[in-house]
Amino acid sequence: MRKQHVLLVGIIGLLLVLNVVVLNIPPCSAGDVHWTDDFTDGNYYPEWNVTMGSWAAGVGILRSTDSVGFPHQAIIRRESTASYGTWSFDLLYSDTGTKVWIGFMHNAMCYNVFDPGLQGYILELNGSAFYLLKSTATTISVLDSATLSPVSGTYSVQITRTSNGAFEVRWDNFLYLTANDTEYTTSTYFTLGSAPHGYGIDNIVVNGTDGLAPPLIPGFPATAIVIGVLTALGFTRLRRRHNRTTSSLTKS
């Protein structure tokens, strides 16, 4: 077999191997976000950072340890770039609390959860009032609201947001809030804000995407690499042939 044929067979083999490797990469791409926290280690750090107040996770639940109530606030945050997908968690509710906010996707740090500025979306429970809110740099608006009748206990909360901005919020698997908003497509933080005391959060699972452009189609990078190599080899051969022709013409 001629050298060129061996080289060609080798390149085709490389193409097949690279494409198989790329196609076998799990579906999680660079834009996928998945994080969980069940606080079983008794710590909220290093992932969480306290913005205001005092917090503890020593009993396997994240909650403020501040003893004073409203208008004092306790705020804790962690990085979370999911802007579409599912945010689920258990909320420990006590009627001694006044307000809890979960800024599940937002872009600005927050020092007063009762003022606008988070630049994103917030779930609020204020007594029996249940809200899905949007906070811009200057205003807070209600996207949807409902009335709950919670008693002290633990409730499962699930928020979903599709890629076209459709929100659904479930409290103990019952759909209470729906809305559609497309203004914010990225997120930096997940923040829990509480006017202590009386609330805790646990078993957080965030599973979504961060709003970045979708990844290249599977197999494309390998194909592009091999096409590039083949093109370079083709140019090299053409140049050699041209040089040989030029050389023979010069000699004659």
Stretch that binds Ca ion, among 17-25, 31-39, 64-72, 193-201 (CB under 5 A): 31-39
Give the nearer residue to Ca ion in terms of CB position, either 39 or 167: 39
Q: Toward Ca ion, which CB reaches closer, 60 or 228?
A: 60
**Residue of 10, 13, 58, 60 that binds Ca ion (CB under 5 A):** 60
Q: How far is the CB of 203 from Ca ion (least distance, A)?
A: 6
Q: What is the DSSP string of the chain?
A: --HHHHHHHHHHHHHHHHHHHHHTS-S--TTEEEEEE--TTS--TTTEEEEES-EE-TTSSEEE-----TT--EEEEEE----EEEEEEEEEE-TT--EEEEEEEESS--S-TTSS---EEEEEEETTEEEEEEE-SS-EEEEEEEE----SEEEEEEEEE-TT-EEEEEETTEEEEEEE--S-----EEEEEEESSSEEEEEEEEEEE-SPPPPPPTTHHHHHHHHHHHHHHHHHHHHHHHHHHHHHHHH-
Instruction: Candidates 56-64, 122-130, 137-145, 177-185: pick the segment binding Ca ion (CB under 5 A).
Output: 56-64
Nearest residue relative to Ca ion (C-beta): 60
The CA distance from 217 to 204, in Å, is 31
How many residues make contact with Ca ion (CB under 5 A)? 4
Contacts (CB under 5 A) with Ca ion, residues 180-239: 202
Output the smallest distance, CB 89 to Ca ion, in A.
Answer: 10
Options 11, 14, 32, 38; binder of Ca ion; rule CB under 5 A: 38
Residue number, 39 or 189, with CB nearest to Ca ion: 39
Nearer to Ca ion, 94 or 126 (CB): 94
State yes or no: residue 39 binds Ca ion (CB under 5 A): yes
Q: How far is the CB of 61 from Ca ion (least distance, A)?
A: 5
Q: State the residues that interact with Ca ion by CB under 5 A.
A: 38-39, 60, 202
